């Protein structure tokens, strides 16, 4: 009897203790009202602004350090950031730099910092491949710098989009430890980074473009989707990336949250490598394109959150084909094409797809496989782990594979990686007309003439039905009402841009 009352008393005391514990206020984060907290799927990896090559890190570092140029999605052209203007002719690109720009430690930004930064990237950093066309960087005077390319290369300017400028003086002063002093010219100054926990910057009052509208930005890596969405709903974060489509309805109902959609630049395709005999015949490739009903897949598998692609470049990029129509769903035509090509009973093929890399990638691959089966093509869906899958793509192991790409403004790089003879083994595709157009557009510095050449190359590739063009996904950001911001097609939240503010 006595023992029973005693245990009940203890349990009651513990319960009261718990209640007091929870009543203690929840959001004690050191935030002024002009702070923005962003929850993303991945965090920063390296202290070195040149020691990575992923989009998340590029965007974050661009808050502290700056690039020479940036792309204006509204004006659809490159504009100067640290560079005031530039000219490009033959193998020489001459940049006139903005005067009066200061680093966070008060030192002046000059052409020497540009040379130092670009040389540092080229000499064995993870980003070196992006500047592979550069032969030399020459300082002409304090505010003029010349970049010499190995060959005349019209697309070069887009290569500089993510290359941030660091201070030569800081690196000379601190040597190896310089990366622990992230000093740049950007709108925000570095405050703190705890790996896996948070990356914090504060507003730069002396920024050359005027002080930012936000005092503090906190990035938090929350890879688990459930946790990221919950953090958005409780207000622990103000912006969440990658909202899954099935959550959109629920989040929209919450008056404190809105979902901001924007069409991604990344194009999803299915590659048909021409080392696989059936794919060597254009009729077979056309048949595959006609056999898939992409509109149904978008409607039922992706909840409508994707846009059919009609070309390799999206509406905001160079080489966009406004009038071209994608191949229509026509299973009867597919069957007759297959018969004409000598495969009346279809054929078997291995279809490799990643799992979880792109929204519903595995489900879409299975849907496509099901549709192909109806015309006799037995496509076996294989979903290896990402590193295995990607290495298979790069080394040319897969015959049919699901992939994303063409997420740069300038399609030149992807054209050469996938469609130029001999550059990589990915698609084993070769068309001398395409090669000629690609080579010519590289040397054409007149933007209008270049556009014509790009469209020619892309039209030829599409006429060859080299791949199945799928779509561009809707990128969905979850944003709390206090944040005023509209996303751009670039993957990432640019707090330093005009138009971003908090209530």
Give the interface with another protein as residue ranges (CB under 8 A): 3, 21-22, 24, 26-31, 39, 45-48, 51-53, 124, 126-130, 132, 179, 192, 194-198, 200, 218, 220-224, 226-231, 233-234, 236, 384-388, 390-392, 394, 405, 408, 413-414, 417, 423-424
DSSP letter, residue 406 = -
Choose between 93 and 199: whose C-beta lies nearer to another protein: 199
Residue (of 305, 308, 315) closest to 359 by Cα position: 305
Choose between 180 and 449: whose C-beta lies nearer to another protein: 180
Q: Which residues contact 100 (CB under 8 A, 6 or more apart)?
A: 208
Choose between 226 and 328: whose C-beta lies nearer to another protein: 226
* Pairing verdict, β 306-308 and 483-484: unpaired
Are the CB atoms for 324 and 469 separated by under 8 Å? no
Choose between 31 and 282: whose C-beta lies nearer to another protein: 31
Choose between 21 and 322: whose C-beta lies nearer to another protein: 21
CB of 267 to another protein, least distance (A): 13
SS3 readout for 322-383: CCCCCCCCCHHHHHHHHHHHCCCCCCEEEEECCCCCCCCHHHHHHHHHHHHHCCCCEEEEEC
Are the CB atoms for 400 and 350 separated by under 8 Å? yes
Choose between 39 and 346: whose C-beta lies nearer to another protein: 39
Tokens of 146: 């010349």
CB of 236 to another protein, least distance (A): 6
SS3 readout for 161-205: HHCCECCHHHHHHHHHHHHHCCCCCCCEEEEEEECCCEEEEEECC
Residues 445, 434: Cα–Cα separation, whole Å: 19
CB of 37 to another protein, least distance (A): 8
Q: Which residues contact 40 (CB under 8 A, 6 or more apart)?
A: 56, 219, 220, 221, 222, 241, 242
Residues 39, 224: Cα–Cα separation, whole Å: 10
CB of 128 to another protein, least distance (A): 7
Choose between 232 and 272: whose C-beta lies nearer to another protein: 232
CB of 309 to another protein, least distance (A): 18
Choose between 3 and 255: whose C-beta lies nearer to another protein: 3
CB of 133 to another protein, least distance (A): 11
Other beta carbons within 10 angstroms of residue 326's beta carbon come to: 16
User: What totals of helices (H) and strands (E) does the chain contain, helices first?
Assistant: 15, 19
CB of 395 to another protein, least distance (A): 9
Are the CB atoms for 49 and 164 separated by under 8 Å? yes
Choose between 407 and 466: whose C-beta lies nearer to another protein: 407
Choose between 200 and 298: whose C-beta lies nearer to another protein: 200
Residues 203, 186: Cα–Cα separation, whole Å: 9
Partners of 198 in the beta sheet? 194
Choose between 5 and 75: whose C-beta lies nearer to another protein: 5
CB of 79 to another protein, least distance (A): 23
CB of 284 to another protein, least distance (A): 28
Choose between 393 and 479: whose C-beta lies nearer to another protein: 393
CB of 341 to another protein, least distance (A): 32
CB of 122 to another protein, least distance (A): 11
C-alpha distances out from residue 134 to 100, 151, 159, Å: 27, 9, 10
Residues 314, 268: Cα–Cα separation, whole Å: 11
Residues 259, 118: Cα–Cα separation, whole Å: 38
CB of 285 to another protein, least distance (A): 24
Are the CB atoms for 140 and 122 separated by under 8 Å? no
Residues 45, 33: Cα–Cα separation, whole Å: 28
């Amino acid at each position: 009897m006595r023992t029973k009352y005693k245990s009940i008393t203890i349990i009651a005391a513990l319960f009261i203790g718990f209640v007091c514990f929870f009543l203690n206020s929840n959001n004690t984060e050191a935030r002024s009202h002009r702070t923005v907290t962003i929850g993303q799927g991945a965090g920063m990896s390296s202290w070195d602004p040149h020691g990575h090559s992923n989009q998340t890190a590029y965007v974050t570092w661009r808050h502290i350090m700056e690039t020479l140029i940036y792309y204006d999605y509204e004006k659809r052209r490159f504009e100067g950031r640290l560079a005031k203007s530039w000219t490009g002719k033959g193998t020489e690109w001459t940049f006139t730099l903005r005067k009066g720009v200061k680093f966070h430690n008060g030192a002046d930004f000059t052409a020497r910092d540009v040379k130092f930064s670009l040389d540092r990237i080229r000499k064995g950093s993870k980003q070196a491949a992006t500047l592979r066309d550069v032969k030399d960087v020459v300082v002409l005077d304090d505010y003029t710098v010349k970049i010499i390319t190995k060959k005349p290369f019209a697309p070069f300017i887009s290569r500089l989009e993510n290359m941030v400028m660091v201070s030569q003086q800081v690196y000379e002063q601190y040597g190896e430890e310089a990366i622990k002093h992230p000093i740049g010219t950007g709108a925000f100054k570095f405050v703190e980074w705890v790996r896996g926990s948070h990356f914090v910057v504060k507003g730069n009052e002396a920024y050359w473009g005027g002080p930012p509208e936000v005092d503090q930005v906190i990035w938090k890596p929350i890879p688990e989707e459930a946790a990221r969405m919950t953090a958005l709903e409780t207000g622990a974060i103000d912006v969440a990336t990658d909202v899954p489509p099935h959550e959109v309805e629920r989040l929209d109902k919450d008056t404190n949250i809105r979902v901001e959609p924007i069409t991604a630049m990344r194009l999803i395709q299915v590659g048909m490598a021409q080392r696989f005999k059936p794919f060597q015949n254009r009729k077979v490739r056309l048949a595959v394109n006609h056999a898939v009903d992409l509109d149904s897949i978008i409607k039922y598998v992706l909840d409508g959150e994707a846009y059919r692609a009609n070309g390799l470049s999206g509406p905001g990029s160079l080489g966009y084909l406004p009038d071209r129509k994608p191949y229509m769903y026509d299973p009867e035509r597919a069957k007759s094409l297959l018969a004409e090509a000598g495969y009346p009973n279809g054929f078997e093929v291995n279809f490799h797809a990643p799992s979880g890399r792109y929204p519903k990638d595995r489900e879409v691959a299975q849907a496509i496989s099901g549709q192909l089966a109806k015309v006799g093509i037995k496509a076996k869906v294989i979903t290896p782990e990402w590193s295995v899958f990607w290495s298979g793509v790069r080394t040319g192991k897969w015959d049919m594979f699901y992939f994303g790409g063409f997420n740069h403004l300038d399609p030149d790089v992807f054209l050469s990686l996938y469609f130029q003879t001999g550059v990589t083994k990915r698609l084993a595709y070769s068309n001398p007309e395409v090669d000629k157009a690609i080579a010519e557009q590289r040397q054409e510095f007149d933007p209008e003439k270049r556009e014509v050449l790009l469209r020619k190359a892309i039209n030829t590739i599409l006429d060859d039905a080299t791949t199945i063009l799928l779509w561009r996904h809707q990128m969905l950001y979850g944003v709390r009402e206090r944040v005023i911001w509209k996303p751009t097609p670039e993957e990432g939240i640019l707090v330093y841009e005009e138009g971003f503010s908090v209530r």
